[in-house]
């Protein structure tokens, strides 16, 4: 399902378009332009919540980072959201992993005064404050090292042809039901005064759709046991 198809389904669920109305064919259609932009925001907000809760499973990616002698900091992939699993870099040639310096850059500055200049094979990494996701290495690399890392990539949708980050129609339809409820309350809140999230959390239709989506995305049957088992 594309973002355009998701928006059309949201419109049908909210009777913006009906059986005898043609679906929109682009996000520049004049007839439903305002509603279209609102529906896109509803979709993006719902995806953001799912990503924040670590519920979307097809965002895992692997990238490599090559160091340059004397260069301390490096930018991560442009679609980087966060590390997948325990944050680490894997040195392919040495078959070793390096982890974040305990306490990060603030602690490193306190522990090692010349952290930014002492060179050698890196033993730790840390977040470097920047306008983009960037890391620094301690020690500062003294040669070219190639590291790989697993991360969660951005699955946000923006243009009509973007594919929704779900595996099958069951997941797509459950998600659209959620987004349709968010759209409904945003659409009805003309003055922008309502607490949409609070309304959604008490909305039975929204909560049922979310539970259904999570159940589909698990890929396995839920546990039948709900109490402690003692051997």
Element (H, E) at 43: helix 33-52
Which pLDDT belongs to residue 30? 82
Residues, the chain, total? 231
Which pLDDT belongs to residue 218? 81
- Asked whether 117 and 137 are in contact (CB, 8 A), the reply is no
pLDDT, tens digit, 9 for 90 and up, residues 66-86: 999 999 999 999 999 999 999
- Return the HEC string of 127-144: ECCCCCCEEEEECEECCC
Cα torsion 188, 191, 192, 194 to 10°: value is -70
Q: Determine the Cα–Cα distance for residues 229 and 58; give it in Å rounded to an integer.
A: 33
At 8 the three-state DSSP class reads helix
* pTM for this model (two decimals): 0.83
Which pLDDT belongs to residue 224? 61
Map tokens 């392919």 to a residue: 92
Which pLDDT belongs to residue 117? 96
Map tokens 């925001």 to a residue: 41
Strands 140-141 and 134-138: unpaired
Q: Enumerate residue ranges in the chain where pLDDT < 50.
A: none
Q: Determine the Cα–Cα distance for residues 149 and 127; give it in Å rounded to an integer.
A: 15
Residues in CB range of 203: below 8 A, 6 or more apart: 181, 185
For 74, 80, 194, 213, the CA distances from 100, given in Å and listed in that order, are 14, 17, 42, 34
Which pLDDT belongs to residue 97? 97
Exposed / middle / buried, residue 145 (Cβ in 10 Å: 0-12, 13-18, 19+): buried
CA 209 to chain centre: 20
């Amino acid at each position: 399902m594309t973002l355009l198809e998701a928006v059309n389904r949201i419109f049908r669920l909210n009777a913006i378009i009906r059986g005898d109305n043609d679906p929109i064919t682009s996000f520049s259609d004049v007839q439903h332009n305002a509603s279209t932009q609102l529906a896109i925001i509803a979709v993006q907000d719902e995806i953001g919540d799912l990503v924040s809760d670590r519920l979307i499973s097809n965002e895992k990616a692997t990238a490599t980072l090559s160091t340059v002698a004397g260069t301390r900091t490096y930018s991560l992939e442009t679609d980087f959201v966060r590390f997948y699993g325990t944050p680490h870099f894997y040195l392919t040639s040495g078959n070793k992993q390096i982890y974040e310096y305990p306490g990060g850059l603030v602690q490193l500055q306190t522990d090692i005064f010349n952290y930014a200049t002492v060179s050698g094979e890196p033993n730790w990494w840390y977040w470097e404050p920047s306008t983009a996701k960037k890391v620094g290495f301690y020690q500062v690399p003294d040669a070219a090292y190639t590291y790989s890392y697993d991360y969660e990539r951005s699955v946000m949708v923006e243009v009509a042809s973007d594919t929704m980050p779900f595996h099958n129609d069951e997941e797509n339809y459950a998600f659209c039901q959620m987004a349709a409820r968010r759209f409904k309350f945003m659409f009805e809140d003309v003055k922008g005064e309502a607490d949409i999230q609070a309304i959604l959390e008490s909305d039975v239709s929204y909560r049922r759709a979310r539970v259904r989506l999570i159940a589909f995305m698990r890929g396995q049957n839920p546990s039948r046991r709900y109490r402690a088992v003692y051997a």
